């Protein structure tokens, strides 16, 4: 048995889709491996004056449709295999929503939670310095991803501009508003996922007020999604972060949880310190503690994995009780789990569609940076909605036409567009 890595999981999904598309050998080859893998070791002096080194990557998967585009993550698991898989997903994602980009991804294998703010800035600047030749508005445009923030984007742009002696507002997206950012970019991933889910619910003639939602992950995407859903009348029954989660059959108020998290550092911090919990307070609030694993298997209608990849696999997919799974994270459902879900009639709205809102608003930010013309929040929201709904309609149509899952359909839509671009450019 070959070892399952994020990239082998991507190739597996690709394999099932391309069979039906009848691609040529040359076309297949271009979709199976990245065009460029840039690796380096990034060294900084830590706060104790000691030199520390971290492996760093920029994988440029495919640029048939436009400049490479994709975030940078800071995480201990961000190795070459993971970054490769994420770069490939970006190429499909930008094609599914039909924005003029290819796909890439970056990563630094480190634990940013252990960094001071100064160390974080040093690492971010070192990344921009190391890969500066491969980056640029017309070449490869990074953005935030797991554990990377607007501040980090600002440091990277600043470093890039210093190093290249240019003014380069469009070389990176997800920047702070004070330095070329885009209105609505912070909420874009959650908002895009919300538009898609709302459309799905509407077309399946369901009532949000009767739907219970469990969300794994309370970062930018997960937390904002919880707030959107709560406001729209859905009942959020569980949320979690890397420390664990809470569940209430009667529903929880994500606005309160957000305050708790800001105050204590985690969603359970208000109730538990380490393994010691204030049982009285939990009873009073009708909540109970759950692990991240338990959260996935709770009674609910919609499950939203919004943390890391491979959360739902062949091992736990049979225990999932939801009828819809909306992938706000990248790659949270493994190919084995996909099969189990398909058999059980559970609809998975795949990452390349569900979380594409982030890169769509990044596209607005990139175009704002290139033209110098500022966008309003209303424009950004309205265009995001239009693009997400068009993509959803296209994927749903393809799924119905070919009797495929939403993931297979989304991959098919994306791959066809990439292949078409490769053809007209004379690459294949």
Q: What residue ranges bind ligand GLU (CB under 6 A)?
A: 69-71, 93, 143, 145, 173, 330, 355, 358-359, 362
| Strand partners for 60 | 36, 104
Smallest separation (angstroms) from ligand GLU to the CB of 220? 10
What is the CB neighbour count within 10 angstroms for residue 159? Answer: 18
- Residue whose CB is nearest to ligand GLU in the complex, by number: 71
The CA-atom distances, in angstroms, between 21 and each of 18, 31, 103, 394 are: 5, 13, 21, 16
Nearer to ligand GLU, 332 or 358 (CB): 358
Q: How far is the CB of 294 from ligand GLU (least distance, A)?
A: 27
Characterise 2 by phi-psi region: left (phi > 0), alpha (psi -120 to 50), beta (else).
beta
- Measured between alpha carbons, how far is 39 from 161 in angstroms, rounded to an integer? 22
E strand intervals along 20-143: 36-45, 51-62, 68-69, 72-74, 103-108, 140-141
CB of 330 to ligand GLU, least distance (A): 5
In DSSP terms, which residues pair with 235 in a beta bridge?
212
- Helices and strands of the chain, counted as H and E runs: 15, 15
84 is catalytic: no
Question: Alpha helix (H) ranges present in 250-302?
Answer: 254-264, 279-284, 292-296
Q: How far is the CB of 64 from ligand GLU (least distance, A)?
A: 17
What's 206's DSSP letter? -
What's the CA gap between 416 and 428, in Å, rounded? 13
Angle at 220 between CA 40 and CA 405, to 5 degrees: 85
Give CA–CA dist 365/180, Å, rounded. Answer: 8
Shorter beta-carbon distance to ligand GLU: residue 324 or 363: 363
SS3 of 311-340: CECCCCHHHCCCCEEECCCCCCECHHHHHH
Note whether 309 and 329 are within 8 A (CB). Answer: yes
Residue 185 burial by Cβ neighbours in a 10 Å radius (0-12, 13-18, 19+): buried
3-state SS class at 424? helix
Question: To the nearest whole angstrom, how small is the minimum distance from the Cβ of residue 137 to ligand GLU?
Answer: 13
Integer-rounded Cα radius of gyration of the chain = 21
CB of 95 to ligand GLU, least distance (A): 13
Residue of 105, 175, 261, 385 with catalytic role: 105
Cβ(350)–Cβ(360) below 8 Å: no
For CA atoms 219, 221, 226, 227, the dihedral sign is: positive
Q: Provide the 10 A C-beta neighbour count for residue 216.
A: 25
Bridge partners, 105 (sequence order) = 59
Residues belonging to the active site: 105
């Amino acid at each position: 048995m070959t070892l399952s890595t994020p990239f082998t999981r991507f190739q597996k999904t690709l394999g099932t889709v391309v069979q039906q598309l009848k691609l040529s050998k040359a076309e297949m080859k271009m979709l199976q491996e990245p065009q460029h893998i840039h690796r380096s070791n990034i060294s900084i002096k830590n706060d104790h004056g000691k030199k520390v080194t971290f492996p760093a990557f920029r994988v440029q998967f495919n640029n048939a449709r436009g400049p490479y585009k994709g975030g940078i993550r800071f995480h201990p698991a961000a190795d070459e295999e993971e970054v490769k898989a994420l770069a490939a997903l970006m190429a499909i994602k930008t094609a599914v929503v039909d924005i003029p980009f290819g796909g890439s991804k970056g990563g630094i294998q480190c634990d940013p939670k252990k960094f001071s703010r100064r160390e974080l800035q040093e690492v971010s600047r070192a990344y921009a310095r190391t890969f500066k030749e491969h980056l640029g508005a017309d070449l490869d445009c990074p953005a935030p991803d797991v554990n990377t923030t607007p501040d980090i984007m600002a440091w990277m742009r600043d470093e890039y501009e210093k190093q290249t002696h240019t003014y380069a507002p469009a070389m990176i997206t997800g920047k702070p508003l004070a330095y070329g950012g885009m209105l609505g970019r912070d909420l874009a991933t959650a908002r895009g996922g919300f538009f898609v889910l709302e459309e799905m619910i509407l077309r399946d003639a369901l009532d949000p007020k009767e739907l219970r939602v469990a969300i794994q992950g309370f970062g930018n995407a997960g937390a904002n999604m919880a707030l959107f859903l709560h406001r729209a009348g859905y009942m959020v029954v569980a949320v979690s972060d890397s420390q664990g989660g809470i569940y209430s059959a009667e529903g929880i108020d994500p606005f309160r949880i957000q305050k708790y998290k800001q105050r204590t550092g985690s969603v359970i911090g208000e109730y538990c310190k380490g393994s010691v919990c204030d049982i009285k307070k939990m009873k009073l609030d009708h909540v109970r503690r759950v692990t991240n694993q338990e959260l996935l298997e709770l009674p609910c209608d919609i499950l939203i994995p919004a943390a890391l990849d491979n959360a739902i696999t062949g091992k736990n997919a049979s225990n999932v009780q939801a009828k819809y799974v909306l992938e706000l994270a990248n790659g949270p459902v493994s190919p084995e789990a996909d099969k189990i879900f398909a058999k059980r009639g559970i609809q998975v709205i795949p990452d390349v569609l569900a979380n594409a809102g982030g890169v769509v608003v990044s596209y607005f930010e990139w175009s704002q940076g290139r033209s110098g013309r500022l966008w309003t929040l209303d424009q950004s929201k309205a265009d995001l909605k239009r693009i997400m709904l068009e993509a959803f309609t296209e994927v749903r149509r393809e799924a119905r036409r070919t009797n495929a899952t939403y993931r297979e359909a989304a991959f098919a839509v994306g791959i066809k567009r990439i292949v078409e671009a490769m053809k007209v450019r004379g690459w294949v």
